[in-house]
């Protein structure tokens, strides 16, 4: 009876509506896209970095949960990845029966039940776990910064056992035997990666990194050729 605590870094990041769309998780979107967006914004007299704010208060609230509500086993395994879809394979491998997902997105699949006919990806991994009967129940804690709501997923909610919670409604949680933290670098900016690892280290336990690209954010060090390359890519 294993339970997975699955956390997406975008849970803690405030941004605007323009970023709520589907993107493919690849190196271009994880790294190069950020430079392209940055220089496009700069050309319009805007600073892209100001559009993404880390909510320190939300992180502190999560730390309170970590210390007072979560019951994490001493031998709990912890994994770090870029894509959140790794949670599907962790759940499958360790036969988890419940998943607690902290995320700015539900990851149930977008487009109703038909979205679960596709392979596992970052947008449907939790819905696929339910459809494939690998878990009995999904607990979704949507970020208060999220632009999504449970009403958008009524078709999937009516078909499977999905419970929507908030931080202040979490009580009597089962023991956590596995932890997965996803950066989701396509949606979270590289200039917050140092804060990402500060968050990881706050768990004070060893972890394994899987399929993760380390990024350095150095827009001021790029040559004119680099900038043009990123703009036209």
pLDDT at 224: 61
Mean pLDDT over residues 81-86, rounded? 97
pLDDT at 152: 92
pLDDT at 13: 96
Please determine, for residue 19, whether its predicted confidence score (pLDDT) is greater than 60: no
User: What is 208-230 written as a DSSP string?
Assistant: EEES-------GGG--HHHHHHH
pLDDT at 53: 93
Please determine, for residue 65, whether its predicted confidence score (pLDDT) is greater than 90: no
pLDDT digits (tens, 9 = 90+) for 20-36: 556 777 888 898 889 98
pLDDT at 122: 93
Is the CA virtual torsion 32, 37, 38, 43 positive or negative?
positive
Mean pLDDT estimate for the chain: 90
Tokens of 64: 């309170």
Nearest Cα to Cα of residue 195 among 32, 59, 40, 49: 59
pLDDT at 134: 96
Query: Which residues make beta-bridge pairs with 79?
Result: 180, 208
This prediction's pTM: 0.92
pLDDT at 129: 97
pLDDT at 173: 85
Q: Is 95 left (phi over 0), alpha (psi -120 to 50) or beta?
A: left
Q: State the CB neighbour count (10 A cutoff) for residue 22.
A: 9
CA–chain centroid gap for 61, Å, is: 17
pLDDT at 220: 84
pLDDT at 128: 97
Is the CA virtual torsion 129, 132, 134, 136 positive or negative?
positive
Q: Which residue has the higher pLDDT, 19 or 111?
A: 111
pLDDT digits (tens, 9 = 90+) for 151-164: 999 999 999 999 99
pLDDT at 20: 53
């Amino acid at each position: 009876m294993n339970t997975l605590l699955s956390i997406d870094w975008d849970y803690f990041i405030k941004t605007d509506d323009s970023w709520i769309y589907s993107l493919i998780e690849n190196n271009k979107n994880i790294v190069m896209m950020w430079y392209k967006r940055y220089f496009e914004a700069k050309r319009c007299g805007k600073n892209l970095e100001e559009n993404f704010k880390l909510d320190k208060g939300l992180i502190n609230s999560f730390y309170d949960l970590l210390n007072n509500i979560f019951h994490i086993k001493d031998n709990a395994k912890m994994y770090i990845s870029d894509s959140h879809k790794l949670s599907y394979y962790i759940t499958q491998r360790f036969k988890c029966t419940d998943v607690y997902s902290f995320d700015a997105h539900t990851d149930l699949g977008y487009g109703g039940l038909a979205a679960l006919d596709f392979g596992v990806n970052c947008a449907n991994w939790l819905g696929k776990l339910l459809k494939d009967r690998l878990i009995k129940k999904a607990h979704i804690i949507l970020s208060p910064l999220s632009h999504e709501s449970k009403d958008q997923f009524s078709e999937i909610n009516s078909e499977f056992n999905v419970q929507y919670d908030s931080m202040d409604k979490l009580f009597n949680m089962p023991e956590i035997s596995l932890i997965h933290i996803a950066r989701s670098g396509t949606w979270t900016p590289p200039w917050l990666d140092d804060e990402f690892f500060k968050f990881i280290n706050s768990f004070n336990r060893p972890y394994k990194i899987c399929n993760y690209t380390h990024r350095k954010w150095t827009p001021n060090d790029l040559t004119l050729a680099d900038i043009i390359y990123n703009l036209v890519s």
